[in-house]
Amino acid sequence: MHNNVFMVVTFATASSAWPLQSPADRLVDQAQSARERAEFRLAASLLDEAEKDQDPPVGRIYHERGLLARDSGHLEEAATELQKAVSHHFATAIHLDHAGVLVQLGRWPEAVVVLRHAFDERGSTLLASAVGTDERFVKLTGFSPYDSLLQERRLEEESPFFKLTVRMARIERSTLGSEIILDQIATFATLAARLANSVGAPIFVFVLLGLVFAFGIQQTALVGPPWTIVLGMTLAGITWHLAARFAGDDAGGGPTIAFGVSVVFGPWLVVLATRGILRWRQLAKIAATDPFSKDHLPDTLAVLEEVTRLGRRWMVAEGEEKEEIARDLDVAQVAVRQRFDLDRD
């Protein structure tokens, strides 16, 4: 049974974490988020943790370390880390970030060299218009090597060959996107096959069928919760039983139905039982301190009768006798207040 539950949980977890990522990649993503929130120490510790992985994404780690150093104001360190990132993992963003840091350092000729490498390596995917409008390179406007680079690039982009290259790159990206989708479908099919081969698959399917029926009943708005799930599981149980009988199962799917119903309603029954016990204890406490309960009623009536008797005597008494009765009446009234305040003790 534990293996069956494990298969269901594994299937749900894998489906929710799509596409699949390595632990190190997730740590780098978390470090990026921490850096963007200016939590630099946390980002550094996450990158250190990612670097300990058996197969760390070295290029991404160097890139993120460079951005972390840049945002912390350590530009020389940022330039060094970004240079390492370029040598391990090429991406347009790394080149542009590296060039942007070099511009901040005043190393403009080096920044132009980095941009030229970016244009040469990325081909049709990096356009001169994107670089020319980038705020990081505004200072380079009027710098002769930078202006010449953009002009050369613009002339290349106007040629028929470059336009053909752009179209081919778009087709390639579409093909890669299709391959990624096919890989995801294959992974999903593998997980589904593993689930189907497990003993617990019928239970998972039965519960899913009940939830589908419950959702359909809810859409009709004929009944409200919790009757939607009750009716949904009932219809699922009837359907499952008939299908099992038709398939030749002598038990009629009874074990699957019983376990599936316990999975759905078990938590509810635990909650209801807990609430019932708490309510019973509350009522028991009230009964134990109620002055009109069967255990306390005789004493309560005796005290009230004593107050009534003293009150009548006080009304007809005079002089010292009246004062004495008044003192006794005060004591009796205190007893009455205590009697009705028992639930506060």
Cα angle 332, 336, 338 (rounded to 5 degrees) comes to: 115
Q: What is the pLDDT of residue 8?
A: 35
Encoded tokens for 94: 């790394």
Q: Which residue has the higher pLDDT, 312 or 277?
A: 277
pLDDT at 102: 92
Residues 6+ apart with CB under 8 A from 211: 229, 232
Please say if the pLDDT value at position 140 is more than 50. yes
**Would you say 128 and 115 are in contact if contact means Cβ atoms under 8 Å apart?**
no
Report which listed range, 171-180, 186-195, 234-243, 333-342, is most confident: 234-243
At 98-124, the pLDDT tens digits run 999 999 999 999 989 988 888 777 655
Tens digit of each residue's pLDDT (9 = 90 or more) over 38-94: 999 999 999 999 988 888 888 899 999 999 999 999 999 999 999 898 887 767 788
pLDDT at 145 over 60: yes
Q: Give the chain's mean pLDDT.
A: 77
Q: For residue 213, is pLDDT > 70?
A: yes
CATH number for the region 18-177 comes to 1.25.40.10
- Alpha carbon distance 333, 328 (integer Å): 9
Lowest mean pLDDT among 200-214, 243-257, 285-299: 285-299
Q: Rounded to two decimals, what is the model's pTM?
A: 0.45
As to burial, measured by CB atoms within 10 angstroms (0-12 exposed, 13-18 middle, 19+ buried), residue 334 is: exposed
pLDDT of residue 12: 37
Residue by residue, what is the 3-state secondary structure of the chain?
CHHHHHHHHHHHHHHHCCCCCCHHHHHHHHHHHHHHCCCHHHHHHHHHHHHCCCCCCHHHHHHHHHHHHHHCCCHHHHHHHHHHHHHHCCCHHHHHHHHHHHHHCCCHHHHHHHHHHHHHHHHHHCCHHHHHCCHHHHHHCCCHHHHHHHHHHHHHHCCHHHHHHHHHHHHHHHHHHHHHHHHHHHHHHHHHHHHHHCCCHHHHHHHHHHHHHHHHHHHHCCCCCCHHHHHHHHHHHHHHHHHHHHCCCCCCCHHHHHHHHHHHHHHHHHHHHHHHHHHHHHHHHHHHHCCCCCCCHHHHHHHHHHHHHHHHHHHHCCHHHHHHHHHHHHHHHHHHHHHHCHHHC
In the chain, the percentage of residues whose pLDDT exceeds 90 is: 17
Which pLDDT belongs to residue 16?
A: 38
Read off the pLDDT band of 166 (50, 70, 90). Answer: low
